[in-house]
Amino acid sequence: DLESALKYHSQALEIDKRIGYLQGEASDLGNIGLVYQDMGDLESALKYHSQALEIDKKIAYLQGEANQLGNIGLVYQDMGDLESALKYHSQALEIDKRIGYLQGEASDLGNIGAVYQAMGDLESALKYLSQAKAIFEKIGMINQAEILGKWIKEEINPTNPTAPGGIWKWIKKLISSILG
């Protein structure tokens, strides 16, 4: 129940503020942002993720900073602002690479792949999703790797005739260009 989640995360935020635990405040704000995103209130989600990001920057908590950048990217994806989403996911990826956080790196790569898919750039989507899948396999997150493998096969792979970006789409485009 999202209303209860909002209530409990808000209570945790008040406690963390009272005791001066900034990392906890950032986490609580991010969680509140996630709840608002699930509720479809994207403006509020963006506001809370941005507040969390500012605290993570202030305390130099890079993993939290990357996490919030990724969350902001997801909100922009939901808003349909794919350029902004790509910018934030790329910033998250840069940080996760710098700190060596492979799980975050794989998630960021997957998110970037999803943005490229939404933009219709299936070649870039395939590149990023394949990189994410390889990292998930490397770190033993087999379920995530299998999900990405299925996504690539069914949704992206241009050799799969039933995929939205499959070979039939390319054949139709070719025929259209030939016939004028």
Least confident of 19-33, 88-102, 111-125: 111-125
- For residues 62-74, one letter each, b for 16 or more C-beta atoms within 10 angstroms of the residue's C-beta and e for the rest, the string is bebbbbbbbbbbb
Helix ranges restricted to H, 20-101: 22-39, 42-58, 62-79, 82-99
pLDDT at 65 over 50: yes
Mean pLDDT, rounded, for 156-164: 63
DSSP H/E element including 3:
helix 2-19
Q: Which pLDDT band holds residue 151 (cuts at 50, 70, 90)?
A: confident
Mean predicted lDDT score pLDDT of the chain: 90
Question: How far is residue 101's CA from residue 106's CA, in Å, rounded to a whole number?
Answer: 9
In this prediction, residue 160 carries a pLDDT of 62
pLDDT at 175 over 80: no
